[in-house]
Amino acid sequence: MDQTPVPAPLDDSEELTKLHPNYSHALRVRATLTSIPFLVGALVLETVFKGEGLFPSGIIAGPVLLIALALIIRVPQTRYNARGYQISADRLRVVRGLMFRSDTVVPFGRVQHIDVNQGPLDRFFGIATLTLHTAGSHNASVSLPGLGEELAREMREEIRAHIRRESM
């Protein structure tokens, strides 16, 4: 008879662990940087059409600015609130999305390697992305952005230790 202990299952009704609060700030900066080319384009179009007297001032740039502000203020916080995770002794659950909800559970036994990534903006805000690469082709990589840098490294080491224990 197999004496392997059965791990406690993840409870889908449990509260998810929120990501680092700086993740929402990083999302807001990314949204701002994404909006800049659209605002510049709207201002250029408005300057061209204003010179020809076709449109009154603000007819193009005004709506683009309002949309950009809405995207910069509202969307990052909504995306932040729609993400979370649970970690147990043998698996990681990652939840994200509002309209298209994704709830992924990665058993540590399937993990082949683990990355901790940081871009310049992530380093500035002290956050990182933990990426688990698994065997198989469907959802072969699962990313968990917005973790505190030290937490991401601790989680990586905890998962590596579990994999080492299982392989012995």
42: tokens are 């709207």
Q: Percent of the chain, pLDDT > 90? A: 65
55 vs 12, 52, 68, CA distance in Å? Answer: 55, 8, 21
What pLDDT digit, counting tens, does each position of 84-119 carry? 999 998 999 999 998 999 999 999 988 999 999 999
Please state the domain count of the chain. Answer: 2
Residue 140 in domain: yes
- Please answer whether residues 91 and 105 qualify as being in contact, where contact means their C-beta atoms are separated by less than 8 angstroms: yes
What tokens does 110 get? Answer: 């399937």
Instruction: Verify that 154 and 106 share a domain, yes or no.
Output: yes
> Could you list the residue range(s) of the whole structural domain that residue 50 is in?
24-77
Residues 89 and 163 in one domain: yes
pTM of the model: 0.81
User: CATH code at 156?
Assistant: 2.30.29.30
Flag whether 16 is in a domain. Answer: no
pLDDT tens column, 5-37:
444 555 566 789 999 999 999 999 999 999 999
Average pLDDT over all residues of the chain: 87
Q: Are 95 and 101 in contact (CB under 8 A)?
A: yes
Q: Tell me the C-alpha distance between 64 and 15, whole Å.
A: 38
Report if residue 153 sits inside a domain. Answer: yes
